[in-house]
A and B are shown apart, each in its own frame.
Chain A
Amino acid sequence: MIRIERRLVQPRWLGVAVPVGSIVFAFAAMTLVLLATHHPPLHTFGRLLSAGFGSRDSLDATFISATPLLFTGLCAAVAFRMGLFNIGGEGQLYAGAILGAGVALMASGASTIVQIPLMIVAGAAGGAAFALIPGILRAFLKTNEIIVSLMLNYVGALVLNYLIFDSLSYWRDTSTPDAKVFPQGKLLPDAATWPVTHIAGFALPFGLLLAVVIAGAVWVLYTRTRFGFEVQVIGDSPRAASYAGMRTRRKMLAVMALSGGIAGVGGASQDGDFRHLLDARGLSQAGYGYAGIVIAALARYNPFAVVLVAVLLGGLQNAGYTLQSVDFPSGLVGVMQGLILFSALGGELLIRYRLRLPRRGARETTAGAAA
């Protein structure tokens, strides 16, 4: 039998070797899936890579796909690091998109310099408020935040649907007879369009830059401040934290609000950067929130790694959209993401534990366990 023992020291090289090994393993598993279904693996991978990362245009499209994932990835990473399983990034993003689009429509006369901060603040407020529902229930009633935030995703999606498809809400375009038959959101004013920055020939959406800045801020908060230190202690050992006199409840609320707020800004970025209206169907079909959890887990809750992984998975998604056609198997991207996540989860074990194969005949020594 193989024995699994906890590592006392985690060698640094493992932090790189295991993620790389996980991705290699995922590709190997994917190869098997493709072979089993009679698709040429190398050709398929080649097409995926070139459609996702092969040219300047495809990288621009990848950045667009990566932007929302960055927000939801950070949303999950911030909360998970404290052991708060906020899986409501999806719903919190909707809430941010609703409020973000709402203020943009209301402030229709304002200039871009006013619009952008307004939308960011409104989006953050919407996401934070939506995240505080499970946050408050967890902090004061010890209600399981996983299920509550999960259920709220569906409530959020239904609110979104209601606003555009089943009511004459403020967000819905009712100006033409056509718009009454084919419901869609009101177009946001031009001033609410977020700018695109051109760096080294790449077109970077404003939301992407904003998310990278937020990632930096989260890193500073978690590694350089007392607040961040306490949050991590609570995450690692709630009991130790309470013996040390840390105020768990307050931090819980703060972290949930921060987590939801980040997802909410992601929603506002969807309005301002890309969709320019409250796109109920598009948002609820994209599944950004769930993908964000995957990204946070793959990045092992490190904000900078979240940026990297989000671009990687964004590229995969973008490639999936671009290639979707008769000869390219649909659903492949989801399978691929799942496999990468499974192998990363499995790889996590190798970081925390070591596998020992007892040699036949050899007596078990305690030296290995003590090392």
Chain B
Amino acid sequence: MNNAILVVVLASAVTYGTPLLFAALGELITERAGVLNLGVEGMMLVGAVMGFWAVQRIPGSGPLVLIAGVGVAALAGGLMALIHAFLVVTLRANQIVSGLALTIFAGAGGLSSYLGNDLNLANAPAVHQFNAFLPQGWRDAPVVGPILFDQTALVYVSWVCVALVGLYLGRTRLGLNVRAVGESPAAADAMGINVTAYRYAHTIVGGAFAGIGGATFSLAITPQWVDGLTQGAGWIAIALVIFAFWRPGLCLVGAYFFGAFSGLPFTLQARGVTVTPELFQALPYVMTIVVLVLVSAAGARRRLGAPAALGTPYVREER
């Protein structure tokens, strides 16, 4: 029963959806504060390489080292995001160009490759990696076992993060302020909210999440470092935020939906079904365009939750 194709596909959806979920949650937080960061791919790759480095080099027991690795990945992603924040918040640079520059700077062929090479990380198996840890009996449970219990700790952490981000944005004073900054920075400023501080903080936190998303690849899914490991997951994460109408809960659904498409061709091919992998791989992108078109229909944009001030710098003197 656990070999049924639907179960296998759903299990791989959760596995492959998790890095997307982390990165998209991060981008969601950033965008809710009104900052568009197209550098997700770069931040993920730097997170992946630094997380892997930490796990290879830090001595100690497995679980602690892995936690440290995730921490280092978050730190590295946050640092990359800090560059973007400085450029777009303080220096008021174009957010699109700055984000793309971040991907060129940090992504494949940039800093992540440089670090991977310089720290000698390629072609080495991971010293520690995230494994499924729940009791074997649970993991063998029919249907829910492979999908929900045969997963790594990062999957459960991502669920907690979804809940926390949802509560933070929807139920706390700080979260309300974030949304005000993203919707109308001038009004937020008049309320006495420090727009600059909020934008910095949420851009950096967004980068940290992207870094963890990258580490999900290098420490759990393909536990090794390969140049360009994330293979465009960062761009899917950006699409996912739109797909999820800027809501954390829908991010989870969307991430698993898109995750299913990245795993599906392999699953089908393993069963002798010949498919065109490109068709499945193109679906997330095409569906994002379709959703975007629907969202952009008159008036719907606001209702569906796109922050009104997304992508625009805030200059107090020019409001």
Contacts and interface: CB of A to CB of B under 8 A. Distances in A.
Partners in one complex: yes
Interface of A: 5-6, 33, 37, 85, 87, 137, 141-144, 146-148, 150-152, 154-155, 158-159, 161-162, 166-167, 287, 290-291, 293-294, 297, 329-335, 337-339, 341-342, 345-346, 348-349, 353
Given A155-B282, A337-B104, A346 B293 contact: no
Q: Is the interface of B mostly helix, strand, loop or mixed?
A: helix
Contact of B105 (A142, A297, A341, A346): A341
Interface stretch (B88-96, B166-174, B214-222): B88-96
Contact of B87 (A143, A332, A346): A346
Contacts of B235: 150-151, 154
A148 B292 contact: yes
Nearest to A287: B109
A314 B296 CA distance: 38
Contact of B292 (A147, A290, A293, A339): A147
B122 to A, nearest CB: 10
A51 to B, nearest CB: 17
A93 B296 CA distance: 27
B112 A342 contact: no
Contacts of B38: 150
A345 B113 contact: no
Nearest to A326: B117
B247 to A, nearest CB: 17
Interface stretch (B128-136, B178-186, B252-260, B283-291): B283-291
A141 B293 contact: yes
A331 B116 contact: yes
Contact of A158 (B109, B281, B293, B296): B281
Interface string B61-73: 0000000000000
A349 B282 CA distance: 38
Nearest to A332: B114
13 contacts: A147-B239, A147-B288, A154-B282, A167-B276, A331-B114, A334-B105, A334-B110, A334-B111, A338-B101, A338-B105, A339-B105, A342-B83, A349-B92
Contacts of A146: 96
B100 A152 contact: no
B239 A345 contact: no
Contacts of B106: 338
Top 6 A-B pairs, shortest CB-CB distance: A338-B105, A334-B110, A331-B113, A331-B114, A341-B101, A345-B93
A291 B104 contact: yes
B23 to A, nearest CB: 15
B232 interface: yes
Contact of B114 (A159, A167, A330): A330
A220 to B, nearest CB: 26
B238 interface: yes
Contacts of B317: 5-6
Interface of B: 38, 83, 87, 91-94, 96-98, 100-118, 232, 235, 238-239, 242, 276-278, 281-282, 285-286, 288-289, 292-293, 296-298, 317-318
Contacts of B277: 166
Given A293-B97, A294-B101, A151 B285 contact: yes
A152 B108 CA distance: 20
A331 B115 contact: yes
B278 A334 contact: no
B285 A334 contact: no
Given A162-B278, A335-B111, 7 more contacts: A6-B317, A159-B278, A294-B104, A297-B94, A331-B110, A338-B101, A342-B105
A335 to B, nearest CB: 5
A150 B238 contact: yes
B111 A331 contact: yes
A336 to B, nearest CB: 9
A137 to B, nearest CB: 6
Contact of B239 (A151, A162, A330): A151
A223 B94 CA distance: 24
Contacts of B111: 331, 334-335, 338
Contacts of B87: 342, 345-346
A334 B282 contact: no
A290 B96 CA distance: 11
A294 B103 CA distance: 11
Contacts of B94: 297, 345
Contact of B293 (A137, A167, A333, A335): A137
Nearest to B318: A6
Given A162-B276, A293-B100, A345-B94, A334 B288 contact: no
- Among A146, A166, A331, chain B packs the most CB atoms within 10 A around the CB of A331
A330 B117 contact: yes
A348 B93 contact: yes
B100 A87 contact: yes
Given A154-B232, A155-B282, A345 B104 contact: no
A211 B2 CA distance: 58
Most buried by B among A155, A162, A342, A353: A342
